[in-house]
Structure 1
Amino acid sequence: MRTRLAVALMVALLVLYLVFAIRYGVFLVSVGQPIPVAMGIALFVLPLIAAWALVAELLFAVRAERLGVRLETEGGMPTEHLPLTPSGRIERQAATDLFPTYKAAVEAAPEDWRSWFRLGLAYDASGDRRRARWATRQAIRLSRA
């Protein structure tokens, strides 16, 4: 619940930023001189890019959460109990040691979204967020097919 509140706050702040940026862009365009007009146009483009990125990230999060819930209801979530650091995070070395198991599962069944999702969880636990997102995107793509 705390994560959802944080996301809602960030979305609200971004929307507020978009409103002010667009209003200021309109003001700059109305000045009529070349440099302020160019800056005003940039203030229209940048919020569009930000809005696109926001929507893309929210869709990714919703789709990944749905796959996680689906996998959990099927009983397919990883069951290993990895040691935790004093802060409550999974010890990276233990996650890294377990990683080859999930990689082999993907190699054995490359069209199975479940194995890709578990691989994404393994990447995330070992601290490789970029590859975790990539594997999760693969899982989302395969689950839609």
Structure 2
Amino acid sequence: MTALVLVLGFYFVLLGRIAFSLIGSGKPAAVGLGVGVLILPLLGVWIVATSVRAAFAHQHLARRMHDEGGELDVSDLPRRPSGRIEKAAADELFEQVKAEFEADPENWRTSYRAARAYDYAGDRTRAREMMKRAVDLERAERGGSR
């Protein structure tokens, strides 16, 4: 991940230099293009920063769950040749975890486990939403520190 961030940083610096060069030309079309090009590295920095921050938060939760022995055990579930868990087994796992979540929805641990179950079931959108919820709940449990 570090290498990717460094490469993107280099790319953003190059785009920034091009943008300021275009803006500095004074020609209306070039200035407009320069402003547009300048937006790209700013947007890119924001996307990289939020992605890295989320990755560290998810890693923190994974470490805590591992230390507490709360990770989902999927070692015995049947797998496809690709290595993914078979759909029926993933759906069954999800139903078990969903019951845990519904019994204690304000616990970051059940939200984390639900996020992992969504991921195993192939529902990445809900997995991301549930992981964000788990991060927020865990942060609140620690006293809201960021």
Question: Could you state the TM-score of these two structures normalised by the residue count of structure 1?
Answer: 0.90
Quote the residue 1:50 is aligned against: 44
Q: Which runs of structure 2 are paired with 1:46-85 in the superposition (5 Å)?
A: 46-80=40-74, 81-85=76-80
**How many residues were matched structurally?**
139
What displacement does 1:101 show?
Answer: 1.3
Q: Please state whether the residue corresponding to 1:47 is helix, strand or coil.
A: helix
- Superposition deviation, residue 87 in structure 1: 2.5
Of 131-140 and 99-108, deviating more is: 99-108
Give the equivalent residue in structure 1 for 2:123.
128
Q: Which residue among 102, 107, 112 is the counterpart of 1:107?
A: 102
Report the Cα distance in structure 1 between the residues aligned to 2:55 and 2:97, rounded to whole angstroms.
22
Using the TM superposition, give the Cα deviation of residue 8 of structure 1 relative to its aligned residue in structure 2, in angstroms. 2.4
Partner residue in 2 for 1:32: 26
Matched to 1:75, the amino acid is G
Q: Residue in 1 aligned with 2:139? A: 144
Counterpart AA for 2:109: R
What percent identity do the matched residue pairs reach?
Answer: 39
Write the distance in 1 (CA, Å) between the matches of 2:91 and 2:33: 48
Deviates more, 1:118-127 or 1:8-17: 8-17
2:8 is aligned, of 11, 14, 24, to 14
Residue type of the partner of 1:88? G
> Structure 2 unaligned runs (5+)?
141-146
Note the alpha carbon deviations across 1:21-42, whole angstroms, 9 max, x for none. 0000011011101111011111
The 3-state SS of whatever aligns with 1:137 is helix
Letter of the 1:23 partner, please give it.
R
Gaps of at least 5 residues in structure 1 are 1-6
Deviation at 1:115, TM superposition (A): 0.3
DSSP 3-state at the match of 1:79? coil
2:91 pairs with 1:96: yes
1:103 to partner: Cα distance: 1.3
Using the TM superposition, give the Cα deviation of residue 9 of structure 1 relative to its aligned residue in structure 2, in angstroms. 2.9
SS at match of 2:36: helix
